[in-house]
Amino acid sequence: MYQLFFTPNWFNGLDIFFEGISLIVALLIAAYSLRIYRFTKENRFAYFMVAFLMVAFGLASKMFTSSVLYYHPLREVTAGVLSPIVGPGLEFADLFYRAGFFVEMFLMLAAWLLIFFISQKSRDRLRKYHEVSQMALFIYLIFLISFVANFQYVVFYLTSAVILGLTVLNYYKNYLNTDKNENAFRVMLSFIFILLSNVFFVFVYFYNQFYVLAEIFMLIGFLTLLGTYSKIKRRF
């Protein structure tokens, strides 16, 4: 049975719980972003909403795929529903798991990349041909990385870590440029936690207990960002 990597047995199921909370938080952040956008009409909040909707759908894909892996009754039901696709004897079952993880990777990478663009200096984007063509190139690269990462998961988390690292640097500059504003610091801190999460995911191959730390840091990052957004939302 296909798995990206082997997780601690005692944590199987708990990771789905953590990801479920992260999914709810991601949806709340998206909702807050939409509310702020309606008041400010700043495109970056609309982009932030889109990014965290992609995060939410990516987490949902991972949760469902992991649930099928962990729970035999759900696996049996899924096998029955998808039997025309996965073939007799479930000979193509691995394609289902790979597809689920591919969707997660593609959406998450797209979300991190979009947030990276948001973290850069504000200006109108996608108004010139070369910018649109660059976005098409990025989408292709994300697609390619997600495909390759299905065979070597480190590629996905390493790429995520690089993008998030650059995002943290941008938010650090923003923190300095806003006279060390508390909200700017919290946003930067939240992405530091998410970055650490992806770094721990990279090393799960060497020590699978890192998977637990990765899930915890991911949740802390989302909760920190949600707290910041809830404070900003009160102004509107």
Other C-beta atoms lying within 10 Å of the C-beta of residue 58: 23
Domain boundaries, the chain: 14-117+129-233
Q: What is the pLDDT of residues 99-119, one digit of tens each?
A: 888 999 999 999 999 999 888
Evaluate if residue 74 carries a pLDDT over 90.
Answer: no
pLDDT at 20: 94
pLDDT, tens digit, for every residue of 114-137? 999 888 866 555 555 565 677 788
Confidence of residue 81 (pLDDT cuts 50, 70, 90): low
Q: Which residue has the tokens 């789905």?
A: 16
pLDDT of the residue at 82: 58
CATH 1.20.58 for domain 14-117+129-233, yes or no, is no
Between residues 138 and 159, which one has the greater pLDDT? 159
**Which of the given ranges, 96-110, 139-153, 210-224, has the highest pLDDT on average?**
210-224
218 close to 201: Cβ distance less than 8 angstroms: no
The runs of H, that is alpha helices, within the chain are 14-40, 43-70, 72-86, 93-119, 129-149, 154-177, 182-202, 210-233
Most distant CA pair in the chain: distance in Å?
Answer: 63
- The pLDDT score that the predictor gives to residue 1 is 47
- Residue 233's pLDDT is what? 66
* Nearest C-alpha neighbor of 214 from the set 56, 15, 6, 25: 15
